[in-house]
Amino acid sequence: MLRNFATAVAREVSRRSDSVLLRHSPVVALSDCGKSRLHTSCRLHQDEAQDQIEDDPNFFEMVELFYDRGASLVEDYLVETLKTQETDIEKRNRVQGILTLLKPCNHVLSLNFPLKRDDGSFTMVEAHRAQHSQHRTPCKGGIRYSLDVTVDEVKALASLMTYKCAVVDVPFGGAKGGIKIDPRQYSLRELEKITRRFCVELAKKGFIGPGVDVPAPDMGTGEREMSWIADTFQMTIGHRDVNALGCVTGKPITMGGIHGRTSATGRGILHGVENFVMEAAYMSAIGLTPGFGDKTFIVMGLGNVGLHSMRYLHRSGCRCIGVMEIDGSIYNPSGIDPKELENYKIQHGTIVGFPDAQEYEDNLMFEECDIFVPCAGEKVINANNAHKIKAKIIAEGANGPTTPAADKILLDNKVLVIPDLYINAGGVTVSYFEWLKNLNHVSYGRLTFKYEKESNMHLLESVQESLERKFGRNGGPIPIIPSDAFREQIAGANEKDIVHSGLTYTMERSARQIMRTAMKYNLGLDLRTAAYVTSIEKIFRTYHDAGLTFT
């Protein structure tokens, strides 16, 4: 498997190296000796370039390398299972063609627009939106506000969203957007102006709409920004669209949001870890016992995803021994209480100085623990530090935290990496539920809530009457007392119950698919490749069954 991946990398490196040599080398006649020296020089350049690409690829290139690894494994299987009257060569051409068209982004929109700031000065705002694939519509992906936003990052995240949606069987194509600003440097009024202008620009270019492209919160954005986008779309381009509120997810409840969306990604991380930590085979392979059982964990990044991951893992019996933030890290081997830390951060704006933990001077990522949860930026785990990580499980709460070179090192060290395209898919899963709610114009459980409660009460009464007729003395009463668990659910499932149940089922079913793929291709602990293969198979079937338009 790794040889196939290395071959794909080598082909890309060879192509780039040859291109560089052709651009910069004069055309001269070479003796055999000269050819030999040039060949040796080319090999050295290729080896250096290959190491550089694997160690420090740009984000989009990194996702493509992971994709190539999965595609190289699944290609033969797709050819063999293709039920057409074509020859073997024609089948392979068809498979390779579809696999090739899955890689690039279909559409990329780059914008620059002016902003008049509160002090009267003017500045230009840079923004981007990428749509990777329309094999399913609408496209789906968050909008982030960060100074690190680039076209490359947006394209990478959009492609990752395509594969992520396919892994968890959410019928969306992948998209992503971003505005290159530091939201902390802008007033509330300025942020609202930026957000609403971005929404209008997206609408003018056909990059937003309930059936076209549906944004969601990401780094630096939340319910507030999604509410501004929904209102702007509804009051402008979508003023005649009854489904206009479905143009964006992650909204407040009052704007058509759904209960459980804010914590969905963190809750999905809990279920993702749970599905693998309960498997004896995987735990035995990495030297741990099944179950949460007082396992220790460290969180990198205490934003929305990191905080809710910390909460849910803590409630499941794990012990948080460390938290990393951009301005400092804290450590307590006895455990850190999530609620107390959250209250402290709200009050002080930082985790530094938290009284129930000590400040950690070195890199907390290298501290010994059972589970490491990176919920910060991309490529934080690379070839320079992967060998220092002592955690047995890495749950990728962030997008793209591990480079290809680091991934190899972690596999060699028998570290179980639960990949981003599966484990942080809880957010898009619940976004799907919210989108359906907006299209249906009714909240989950509203039509059945009272009926289920009355049905359960009638069931208890029927059981009681039957027992009294059979065993009651002179028809005396035999009280039926429901258990605590049944009493909690006797009134039926509300919206939050349905969302949590749907998310749990989605993460469990997707984990089983990844495990089966890993066994089918003998991938061992390489869950990332198993997830990509699972995703590629599904997307391929969609493209193949639908056919290609105007080719």
**Candidate list 91, 155, 164, 176, residue with the active-site label:** 176
Token pair for 259: 């209960």
**Stretch (H or E) spanning 437:** helix 426-440
Q: In what order do the strands lie in the sheet with 107-116?
A: 107-116, 122-131, 173-179, 139-145, 213-217
Listed in sequence order, the residues at least 6 apart from 331 whose beta carbon sits closer than 8 Å to its beta carbon are 321, 322, 357, 358, 359, 360, 364, 367
Q: How far apart are CA 427 and CA 436, in angstroms?
A: 14
Helix (H, G, I), strand (E, B) or coil at 551: coil
CB 423 within 8 A of CB 272: yes
**Please, are residues 372 and 394 in contact by the beta-carbon 8 Å criterion?**
yes
Q: How far is CA 297 from the centre of its chain?
A: 20
Taking the C-alpha atoms of residue 412 and residue 283, their distance in angstroms, rounded to an integer, is: 16
Taking Cα atoms as reference points, which of 449, 493, 472 lies closest to residue 480?
Answer: 472
Alpha helices in 25-81 (DSSP H): 32-55, 59-80
In the β-sheet with 296-300, what is the strand arrangement from edge to edge?
Answer: 358-359, 328-331, 319-325, 296-300, 371-374, 393-395, 416-418
Q: Are 305 and 266 in contact (CB under 8 A)?
A: yes
Task: Say whether 437 is catalytic.
Answer: no
What's the rounded Cα separation, in Å, for the pair 422 and 513?
11
Catalytic positions, written as ranges: 176
